[in-house]
Amino acid sequence: MPFTKANIFTFGEAVAVFAAQDELPVSRARDYQRWTGGAELNVAVGVSRLGLSARWFSRLGADGLGEAVLADARSEGVITDSVIMDDSANTGLIIRNSSSQAPIDVTYWRKNSAACNMNANDIDKDSVLASDWVHITGITPAISDSARAATEKVKDIVLGANHRHSLDLNLRKKLWSGEAAAKTLRPLVEGVEVLIGGIEEYQTVFETKDFVQAAFKAGAKNLVITNGGANVHIYSEGFSKELETRKVKLVDPVGAGDALVAGLLAGLLSGLDLEAATQQGIVCGAWAVTGIGDWGGLPFGKNGIVNSHLNAGEVLR
C-alpha cells in the first residue's frame, strides 16, 4: 500500500504508564495517573509538536491499553497507519513513582508483550523509506530476538538506500547486559548521521574510554554526548563543542532525553546545523521536565523550529 510521506519514521515499543500520585512510592500509593510512554513514540510526539510529521510503527495488544496508547499517539498527530494490533499478546506497561525529589523507581511489565512480537516480516520497506529521516534506538533490539531482527532489517534498508538516519544508544540495563548491547549496537553505528548517547552508554557500547574515535571508526558521522543534566558535547570530523544545558524547575525527570532527540532531529530536518539543532534539543529537553509524564512538558513549534520565545530561553532561566 502507498504510504503518505513523513518527515521521520521510527519504531519501537510504547507502553501504558501508571504513575503513583501525591509523591508516594508505589508500595504506598492507591491513586495512579495513566499516560503513554516509550522512547521512540516520545520522539515522534516531540517532532510532531514542532510542526513536522512523524510515522511510528509498533505492535500493540488488541486490548484496552493498546487502544488507549494508539489514541494518545493519534491525538498528538503521529501517523500510525502501519501499527499492528496483536490479539496474541498484551500491551506492555510500566508502574512507577512520580516525584521531583526521590529517584524514579520503575517496574516493567513488558516481557512477552505485543511489541516483543515485532519481527522482520513486519517491516515494510516502503513505509520506512516514505520519510526524510529514520530514527533507531537501542531499546527495540533489546526487547526480543525478533525485535532485534526487525531493527537489523530497518538498518539494512536505510544503508541500502543511503537514507538519512540516527541512532540513540538508549541502553536499558534491566533489558540486557552491557556485553549483549555492545555486540548488537556497534554494527548499527555504521553510516549513522547522528549517534546519540550518554557517556556511560558510549563507554559500554565501544568498550573504551576513547569512545569518540571509536565511534567515528565504526562509521558515525556526528556525535551528541549527554551527561545527565550536565553540558552536552557534540563532535563531527574536525569539530567539537560543549553546549550549556538549561536550568529549570524540575517537575518530572522522565522524557528529557527523548525530547532532546526530537528537538535535535526536527532542527536538522528544518535546515539547522548540528550545533543549532542540538541547542534546540537542549531547550526541548529542559521543557520536557517541567510537566508531568513523558509528553507533558514538550514544547510546540512550527516547521521543525521551537517557538521563538522558548528558543530565546526567556522562561527557562
Please check whether residue 316 lies inside any domain of the structure: no
* Predicted local distance difference test score (pLDDT) of residue 79: 98
Q: List alpha helices for 33-144, DSSP H.
A: 39-49, 64-75, 125-129, 140-143
d(C-alpha 163, C-alpha 140), whole Å = 20
For the chain, 317 residues long, give each residue's pLDDT as a single digit of tens.
Answer: 678 999 999 999 999 999 888 888 888 889 998 999 999 999 999 999 999 999 999 999 999 999 999 999 999 999 999 999 999 999 999 898 876 666 777 888 888 999 999 999 999 999 999 999 999 999 999 999 999 999 999 999 999 999 999 999 999 888 899 999 999 999 999 999 999 999 999 999 999 999 999 999 999 999 999 988 789 999 998 899 999 987 777 666 677 899 999 999 999 999 999 999 999 999 999 888 788 778 888 999 999 999 976 664 443 33
In tens, the pLDDT along 128-174 reads 999 999 999 999 999 999 999 999 999 999 999 999 999 999 998 88
Domains: count for the chain = 1
Domain with 97 in it: 6-311
Do the beta carbons of residue 254 and residue 104 sit within 8 Å?
yes
Please check whether residue 121 lies inside any domain of the structure: yes
Q: Which three cell numbers stand for residue 122?
A: 513486519
Q: List alpha helices for the chain, DSSP H.
A: 39-49, 64-75, 125-129, 140-143, 145-160, 178-185, 199-206, 211-217, 256-270, 274-288, 308-311
* Predicted local distance difference test score (pLDDT) of residue 275: 97
Q: Which three cell numbers stand for residue 53?
A: 510529521
Q: Taking CA 49 as the corner, what is the angle to CA 305 and CA 198, rounded to the nearest 5 degrees?
A: 75
Across the chain, what does the average pLDDT equal? 92
Please check whether residue 43 lies inside any domain of the structure: yes
Do the beta carbons of residue 171 and residue 143 sit within 8 Å?
no
Please check whether residue 74 lies inside any domain of the structure: yes
Which helix (H) or strand (E) segment holds residue 10: the answer is: strand 6-11
Residues forming a β-bridge with 9: 55, 134
Global model pTM greater than 0.85? yes
d(C-alpha 136, C-alpha 10), whole Å = 6
Please check whether residue 213 lies inside any domain of the structure: yes
Please check whether residue 1 lies inside any domain of the structure: no
Please check whether residue 164 lies inside any domain of the structure: yes
Q: What is the bridge-based pairing of β-strands 106-109 and 93-96?
A: antiparallel
Do the beta carbons of residue 68 and residue 35 sit within 8 Å?
no
Place of cell 535535535: 264
CB-count burial class (<10 Å; 0-12, 13-18, 19+) for 186: middle
Please check whether residue 50 lies inside any domain of the structure: yes
Give the domain CATH number at 270. 3.40.1190.20
